[in-house]
Amino acid sequence: MFENMLLGLQALADPALLLAVLIGVVGGVIIGALPGLTSTMGVALLIPVTFSLPPQVGLAMLGGIYCASTYSGAISAILLNIPGTSASVATMLDGHPMAKNGEPGRAISLATFASCFGGLVSIVALLFLAPQLAEFSLRFGSPEYFLLAVFGITVIASMSAGAMEKGLIAGALGLILSTVGTHPLTGTMRFTGGVPTLFDGIPLVVSLIGLYSIPEVIDLIDRAKSTHTGAAGVDKTSPFATLRELARQKFNLFRSSLIGIIVGIIPGVGCSVGGFLAYDAAKKGSNNPEKFGNGAAEGLVASETGNNAVTGGTLIPLLTLGIPGNPVTAVLLGGIMIHGLRPGPELFTTNADVTYGFIFSLFLSNLLFVPVGLLLARYGLRIVQVPAGILAPLILSLAVIGAYSLRSSVDDIWIMLAIGALGWGMAALAVPRAPLVLGLVLGTLAEGELARSLALVRGDLGAFGMQLVTRPVALVILILCVSAIIHGIIQHRRDSKMLE
Amino acid sequence: MTTRTRDLIFAAIALALAVAIAITAFGYPVASSYFPRTLAVLMGLLAAFFGLRTLLAPTDDAAPMSPLNISALIAAFGGIAAYVVALKLVGYEGATFLFLFLLMVWLGAVGWLKALILAVAFTALLNVIFFVMLGVPRPDALLF
């Protein structure tokens, strides 16, 4: 394992990889700080940019965007009380009051260093836990992989809190869309309507660009004439003065990191939940709980450490088992597969240089977003105030060239537009889009492994069913699937009661 | 529109979609279509259940919703459709410049001069990143 880690460390000497991390971090910080632009959209938009790059360089860029955008949502949350990304919702609770109290510089510095700490701890966990899980996944055959895909799909229930039926329908639609094109074993064409562009299926990246960028641009156009006024200014507090303050919160930092990592490992929970749970734990453990909500440093630190610690945690099931824990990692999984890699043990053996290079590049990303974020924060108000009337056309033109560049096909722009219309329709009808993404990503795996499993038992459904309950690993995953569904139903009922 | 009407519209669309997918999927050989067949049936059942649940729910739960902004919708979809047509006529640079400039001016966030500068700068930036640095083949155009 350590030899493989050394291989990964060597990758850091590649100037192209360092440049890719820098570009990813700068892009991620800007995307995260701009309200309306999500981490998922940032990763989806830049996947086409990574096509012609070597895998470790391309993945380092995507990892940089993921880590940096998760952090930088805090900038607009603190300065404008608008979360740049959903991850920073809990950060607003104390970050914005602190800024209003005349300490926006202190708030941003605390958020930056706390995010860096949470991110780094979670990458250490990824580095040492992931290989063990990967070795375990060697025991997996087609039935287990099929069940794993099903387990990933059960996450839909928790991704659609308060709208479970809608989430399940969206998930089913995503799975059906993933079947467009050639059947993995028989070669039969399905749902193509004779259109040659669809013979290879609906390109995942094109779908993601359409699904996330078009509805958000429509929303931006809608708000084009509104401007943000009365935003707080940035004070002159030295960022490094807050390091001593952070050193006094060691327990809060480690507790929040641990909460974030655990939340990240559980698929479907997400960064915002990590931030909220860490904030809640900090408040319960604080000697001054009454200060929470009025600019308490403990609350801000807990939220930012917790939500950034989720990033490394989500990558553990993603890299070892191919289970994306949230929409960003679902898109990231697409990016990994596009580079010809498949999550599982091979990532840590055959492709160890790429995988460990990627993990070490995440360390670098977490360190690099500190200077980039602090520098950006100085000009933060100007950037977060880019008028929607400028931002919307720029995003659309980037979406068009991004969709085109995948296969150098103008037809892909039309597909992007059609999926964008679907995404807009879903947003208008309050249907969660994340389940559709999960369906699109996991559908190919689920159908392929199901076809292989059935082929092995010559299409005998009874024999296939017996395999699921007699193979120990398959049985464990089956139990996990059933418990995830039951948990989803209980959570749905609880949410419904709360709404009532 | 209320949330109840919205949910009923969703259930109806999902049910219609599930039926259409099921009809198509059942037309393929079983070995190639058990997966979409199962999913279409599941989707249809879920849509019917959701629609019934919404219908039977007390109507006083329905909350009014904000109206849809049709002009934003037309600008986004119409804009991209016109952009793609222009792409095939005048080439990437001309179409991108026109798209950016016209949309920025129409949205009114900046004056025409600033929009002109931004449109030229962003077109040049995209051109350098995608066609020069990444070597993406330029789309074919009728005129240029």
> For position A196, what pLDDT does the model report?
87
Exposed, middle or buried by CB within 10 Å (0-12, 13-18, 19+), for A445? buried
- Which of A153-167, A218-232, A297-311, B28-42 shows the lowest mean pLDDT across its residues? A218-232
Predicted confidence (pLDDT) per residue in A76-110, tens digit = 778 766 666 667 777 888 888 888 788 888 888 99
Put simply, the answer to whether B76 touches A218 (Cβ < 8 Å) is yes
Predicted confidence (pLDDT) per residue in A418-446, tens digit = 999 999 999 888 888 878 877 887 788 78
Nearest residue, CB atoms, A190 vs list B3, B28, B126 = B28
From A313's Cα to the closest Cα of chain B, the distance in A is 31
Put simply, the answer to whether A172 touches B7 (Cβ < 8 Å) is no
Put simply, the answer to whether B50 touches A165 (Cβ < 8 Å) is yes
Put simply, the answer to whether A52 touches B17 (Cβ < 8 Å) is no
Is the pLDDT confidence value at A246 over 90? no
Residue of B nearest to A173 (CA): B43
Q: Please give the residue that has the higher pLDDT: either A348 or A175.
A: A175
* pLDDT band of B51, cuts 50, 70, 90: very high
Looking at this predicted complex, what is its ipTM? 0.91
Is the pLDDT confidence value at B143 over 50? yes
* Contact indicator for A179, A202 with CB cutoff of 8 Å: no
Q: Which residues contact A420 (CB under 8 A, 6 or more apart)?
A: A210, A211, A213, A214, A215, B76, B77, B80
Is the pLDDT confidence value at B9 over 90? yes
Strands (E), A35-179: none
* A340-346 own/partner pairs: CB under 8 Å, 24+ apart: A340/A55, A341/A55, A343/A318, A343/A319, A344/A134, A344/A137, A344/A140, A344/A320, A345/A134, A345/A135, A345/A137, A345/A138, A345/A320
Predicted confidence (pLDDT) per residue in A19-59, tens digit = 999 999 998 888 777 665 667 878 887 787 787 788 888 88
Percent of chain A with pLDDT over 70: 86
From A472's Cα to the closest Cα of chain B, the distance in A is 25
Distance CA A239, CA A427 (A): 39
Q: Does A221 touch chain B (CB under 8 A)?
A: yes
> For position B116, what pLDDT does the model report?
94
> For position A161, what pLDDT does the model report?
54
From B45's Cα to the closest Cα of chain A, the distance in A is 9
Is the pLDDT confidence value at A495 over 50? yes
> For position A497, what pLDDT does the model report?
63
Greatest distance between any 2 Cα atoms in chain B? 61
> For position A14, what pLDDT does the model report?
86
- Which of A243-252, A298-307, A382-391, B89-98 shows the lowest mean pLDDT across its residues? A382-391
Put simply, the answer to whether A397 touches B126 (Cβ < 8 Å) is yes
- Where along chain B do its domains lie? 3-61, 70-133
From A197's Cα to the closest Cα of chain B, the distance in A is 16
Q: Does B54 touch chain A (CB under 8 A)?
A: no
